Copies of this chain bind each other. A is one copy, B any other.
Amino acid sequence: MPRLEDLMKKSVADAPIEPIRLDEPVPLEALHTPALVIDLDVFERNLDRMQAHLDQHGIGLRAHTKMHKCPIIAREQLKRGAIGVCAAKVSEAEIMFAGGISDILITSPVSTPEKITRVIELAVLDPELSIVVDDIGTADRFEAAAARAGIELKVVIDLDPGMGRTGIEPGEPALALGRHLIESCPHLIFSGLQMYVGNCMHIAGFDARRSKYAHLMAKGAETKRMFEDAGIPVPVFTGGGTGTYDIEPGLGILTELQAGSYAFMDIEYRDIGGQSGEVFDDFEPSLFVLVSAISKPQSRLITVDAGFKSLASDKDAPQFRDVEGVVWHWGGDEHGIIQLNNPSRVLGLGDKLEVITPHCDPTVNLHDFYYPYRNGVVEALWPVSARGRSQ
């Protein structure tokens, strides 16, 4: 009979992190659906494009693993030149470290005693680990824990861009926290600032997005200047995402971009529009949920086997990769009901179809495996190793 903490450590040690190669490659149409599939050619194009763009502008890629939750994919990003990764939560960072990745920033504040202990235990194993803090009391608790463990821990100050999610107020409050870290927390190594403007990522229209984003990020730039004027160097400024990847070079604030969705894309990002028009197609959808038609209850309807348990439902309705003239209606937890207005091809019972996900991150989090394919064939499964690790 184990202790809870022992169980949690065992579950990290037991998590599958390597590809599972299949003895007999499986054609896409033989997969048991719903299945989370990756079109590898498109996926690799997306990875290459983002890295080339950031290389050209001298910005580092800190790939956000909250999106894919998969050390195999993180290693693909690092292989192409990413400087490190970020994780939303401690439990996600544990899996990335188990998967051989060491330069990890945990982007969300941690406040409870048992979770602070867990961060310190990971930092003992991984001296490259960084965390964010946005509160002096929390900083003091981390300082005490790091001192007890005899380690130094890299710390980034999280700034609230005004969206009120996490972060300390930019300007004087942030500077006071910075001074506190430098003066009173010898085991915490101040390494820079984070300002992630999540509420700008999906503003429709490039110009509107750039304008709002530049306005909000100005507070971050001003805070950085205040730190430097106070004699506190700010080597790292981390933030941004897929929706601002082409805005950042013009602003010149970020040293590293926390992009995730560009690798897979989704309907939400596709619809924000890009510099060239109403569709943001700088990156292409490479992730799909493969579904099967299982019922045809009425002449203008066909029902597929994926609902809220296979496709995240916080945003738009799903769409098909290669069928037009149909409308998706959610059919509850297990089903999608497809209204056949003027379908661009005949759909019948047993047909398998690729669905573009409305929102890739929480959709990935519903599945245990990716089925990556090339030329219509799956040769290995990739575990979604950090699935469900929201702690």
A residues in contact (CB < 8 Å) with B? 1-4, 7-8, 11, 20-24, 26, 30-35, 66, 88-89, 91, 108-115, 118, 134-135, 137-138, 158, 160, 164-169, 198, 292-298, 301, 303, 305-306, 308-310, 312-314, 330-335, 337, 349-350, 352, 359, 361-362, 365-368, 378, 381, 387-388, 390-391
User: Which listed residue (B7, B109, B167) contacts A381, Cβ 8 A?
Assistant: B7
Cβ–Cβ < 8 Å partners of A381 in chain B: 4, 7
Closest to A388 in B: B368
A109 to B111, CA, bound (A): 47
With A134-B297, A333-B361, A349-B135 already in contact, the answer to whether A23 and B8 are too (CB < 8 A) is no
A-B contact pairs, 30 of them (CB 8 A): A3-B22, A4-B26, A4-B32, A4-B378, A8-B32, A30-B114, A32-B114, A32-B118, A35-B391, A88-B333, A108-B334, A110-B294, A111-B295, A111-B350, A112-B294, A112-B352, A113-B350, A135-B295, A135-B349, A138-B349, A166-B294, A167-B295, A168-B297, A308-B314, A312-B313, A333-B362, A366-B366, A366-B388, A366-B390, A368-B388
With A26-B4, A32-B391, A365-B309 already in contact, the answer to whether A334 and B89 are too (CB < 8 A) is yes
A231 CB, nearest partner CB in chain B, Å: 27
Residue of A112, A160, A168, A293 most packed against chain B (CB within 10 A):
A112
Cβ–Cβ < 8 Å partners of A305 in chain B: 89, 108, 390-391
- 5 closest cross-chain pairs (CB), A and B: A1-B23, A166-B295, A313-B314, A160-B297, A308-B362
A112 CB, nearest partner CB in chain B, Å: 5
- Copies of the polypeptide in the assembly: 2
Residue of A297, A362, A368, A387 most packed against chain B (CB within 10 A):
A297
A295 to B310, CA, bound (A): 31
With A33-B391, A349-B137 already in contact, the answer to whether A298 and B164 are too (CB < 8 A) is yes
A287 CB, nearest partner CB in chain B, Å: 15
Assess whether A21 is in contact with B34, with CB atoms less than 8 Å apart.
Answer: no
A166 CB, nearest partner CB in chain B, Å: 4
A352 to B114, CA, bound (A): 12
Assess whether B30 is in contact with A1, with CB atoms less than 8 Å apart.
Answer: no
Closest to A110 in B: B294
A21 to B6, CA, bound (A): 12
A134 CB, nearest partner CB in chain B, Å: 6
Closest to A29 in B: B112
